Structure 1
Amino acid sequence: MDLSNLVDPEEEEAGTELTPEMQEKLTKLAELLLPNWEFNVLSIEVIQGGQMALVWKFMTDEGPKCLKRIHRPEKKALFSIHAQDYLAKKGMRVPGIIPNKDGSLYTKHGPFLFVVYEWIEGRPFNLTVPEDLQWMMRGLGDYHTQSVGYVPPPATPIFSKLGKWPKHYIKRCQQMETWKLIAKRFPEDPFCQLYLAEIDPFIVKGREILDQLRASHYPEWVAACKKKPSLCHQDYGTGNTLLSEEQIWIIDLDTTTFDLPIRDLRKVIIPLMGDTGVWDHQLFELMLAAYEEVAPLTPEQKNVMYIDMLFPYELYETVSERFGRKNDIMPEELMAAFEYEKRKTEQLSQLL
């Protein structure tokens, strides 16, 4: 019985609220898959079904467990599955993977891989509470240091972004230029008017940052990390961390990759500051200090981090929402993004 296409991705994306029909479909899918594992399943609950990652909580006589459909392509999924198994067996606080009856870490059904994890009970962290932020940053430092030594099994494709930042910058600068062409097609649109009036200095700045990165410690650091890489989570935040019994647990490693650890720092700190609309240097120092309690950075490494943080990521994301994802973004939001990038540049430039 092939139920690989039981769930229509377009139907999944239609909204976060699952209809009774969708709940029933997802429950049937779990019932089909779970016999691949040695469990006495007592009940099944759909936890997440609104994105490509499907998550079920099921109760057994051994306690609650988690069934998940990995939303990454198979080659990248194998890299993250084995990384999580490595970290769990090493004692890192990530959910342990429970092998199926064949001893495999996953079961393939249709084009997707399904994995069963230990279920972690805990509370999410609150980004407005300094103590919670410190917990999270120490946990991130632990993730980076504990992941050194992970070697994917033979024939498993390696997922790495080491050395790829220059291409990353170039692509975004080119995209911001392309969005100018789109904006020119709507000369009466206030958002487009503002974008055209203000964007050029930020594109120029993006290219300058590329030159700074190439002239920094970045190439040497990349070369060293290729010999002894560590993992970046890439989606670290309140949705993927839990406080359980006074310990931080890190979940959802689907997008983990080899890269410099400061990629995660930038992806945590910059959006947090962007949400407030200001660059809070005291908060920045608090987060960095907590991280360095576990994973100290050299002055040269910090310099690379400051350079990377200078790139107008938040501005890029704001404009992408309008021109890329076709969402309604008000001109006021764009102006706030421009102002935030200016304040961020002033603060970070003092640290370089």
Structure 2
Amino acid sequence: MMQFWDIPITSIELIQGGQMALVWKIHTSDGAICLKRIHRPEKKALFSINAQNYLAKKGFRVPGIIPAKDGGLFTKYGPFLFVVYDWIEGRPFELTVKEDLQFIMKGLAEFHTASVGYKPPEGVPVFTKLGRWPNHYVKRCQHMETWRLHAKAFPEDPFSQLYLEAIDEFITDGKEIYKKLLASDYPSWTANVKKAPNLCHQDYGTGNTLLGKDGQIWVIDLDTVSFDLPIRDLRKMIIPLLDTTGAWDQETFDIMIDAYETVSPLTEEQKRIMFIDMLFPYELYDIIRERYVRKTVMLPEELSGAMEYERIKTKALKTLIGG
């Protein structure tokens, strides 16, 4: 693949293999660079490649894209797109360390702010989730209802027995959360953001951020970016992180939101919308999907633990929402 770039190579090191997305560290006389095979449908890949190029050209801390010989941002080989980036040296963040946690949340706010103004080139489809949350809630509730049939097919399975005993509670909650979202300012906020949307990373966290040698946070792996409300990334960062203790960690919750707001403040209603979205049983849904869709062996203790976390989370968030 490197024949398509005018780069003298001294050695090549496989960093990520064994899956559809592949990453190589290319060593050159001028330092290391990164070759990546992107595992995304081409239209979505083009949206993210151009988004990363926009941010890098703007001076935001994402790896710059090194053009191929023909001047393009990528080279297509078979069904895959290959891109060459600057190689970023740094260390991952440790989210149990308060300073690192604050740093990574400030970096998320900076990413959202810097991404406003991105418009994909003509011919590249827009990838957006703006306004689609209600439909996502409905689909997930329907899936949980359908999975009752899967559970009934395994009457001797303790996981399925527990699922049938308890899932109605969470389906009912999901439908109520749907109503709360529609009754909030979500529709009007979404309509306003559509005028000048920000990007959401959708997979932001320790695996896709680095504390660079320059002392700054770098955001990497933008393959899944889309337009959406910024609080989508906050929910996807905060809720899984708190699902590790068996209790609601209000201190960590506050640290994360406060750090984000030092860069990009949220209104009280925007935070209320975020809390409503956090109410939805996403973590539980993922456990169930793993069992009935991906056919992964799951222990009933994993299901009961997820259910208990959803109950703990719901109690805490309802206090913040006010009902």
TM-score, normalised to structure 2, is 0.98
Q: Match for 2:257: what amino acid?
A: L
Whole-angstrom distance in 2 between the partners of 1:89 and 1:235? 22
Offset of 1:206 from its aligned partner?
Answer: 0.1
Counterpart of 1:167 in structure 2 is 135
Q: Match for 2:138: what amino acid?
A: I
Whole-angstrom distance in 2 between the partners of 1:99 and 1:322? 43
Offset of 1:275 from its aligned partner?
Answer: 2.6
Q: Match for 1:138: what amino acid?
A: K
Counterpart of 1:238 in structure 2 is 206
- Identity, % of aligned pairs? 66
Residue 113 of structure 1, aligned match among 64, 77, 81: 81
Counterpart of 2:103 in structure 1 is 135
Q: Match for 1:239: what amino acid?
A: G
Whole-angstrom distance in 2 between the partners of 1:52 and 1:295? 35
Answer yes or no: is 1:278 the counterpart of 2:247: yes
Answer yes or no: is 1:301 the counterpart of 2:270: yes
Whole-angstrom distance in 1 between the partners of 2:246 and 2:298? 16
Residue 178 of structure 2, aligned match among 196, 210, 215: 210
State the 4+ residue runs in structure 1 displaced beyond 3 angstroms: none
Give the conservation status (yes or no) of the 8 Å contact 1:68–1:116. Answer: yes
Offset of 1:187 from its aligned partner?
Answer: 1.6
Q: Match for 2:162: what amino acid?
A: L
Offset of 1:329 from its aligned partner?
Answer: 1.0
Secondary structure of 1:142's counterpart equals: helix
Counterpart of 1:14 in structure 2 is none
Offset of 1:67 from its aligned partner?
Answer: 0.2
Give the conservation status (yes or no) of the 8 Å contact 1:170–1:207. Answer: yes
Counterpart of 1:337 in structure 2 is 306
Counterpart of 2:223 in structure 1 is 254
Gaps of 5+ in 2: none
Q: Map residues 94-109 of structure 1 onto 2, 5 A cutoff.
A: 94-109=62-77
Can you list the C-alpha shifts for 1:24-48, whole angstroms capped at 9, x where unaligned? xxxxxxxxx1011111011001100
Counterpart of 1:197 in structure 2 is 165
Offset of 1:278 from its aligned partner?
Answer: 2.3
Counterpart of 1:220 in structure 2 is 188
Root-mean-square deviation (CA, aligned residues, Å) is 0.8
Counterpart of 1:349 in structure 2 is 318
Q: Match for 1:316: what amino acid?
A: Y
Whole-angstrom distance in 2 between the partners of 1:158 and 1:320? 28
Secondary structure of 2:94's counterpart equals: coil
Q: Are the structure 2 counterparts of residues 50 and 276 from structure 1 closer, same or farther at C-alpha, using a change threshold of 3 Å?
A: farther
Offset of 1:321 from its aligned partner?
Answer: 1.4
Whole-angstrom distance in 2 between the partners of 1:323 and 1:277? 24
Gaps of 5+ in 1: 1-32
Secondary structure of 2:90's counterpart equals: coil
TM-score, normalised to structure 1, is 0.90
Whole-angstrom distance in 1 between the partners of 2:19 and 2:250? 35
Residue 74 of structure 1, aligned match among 34, 42, 62: 42
Residue 45 of structure 1, aligned match among 13, 33, 48: 13
Give the conservation status (yes or no) of the 8 Å contact 1:277–1:337. Answer: no
Secondary structure of 1:113's counterpart equals: strand
Whole-angstrom distance in 1 between the partners of 2:111 and 2:290? 31
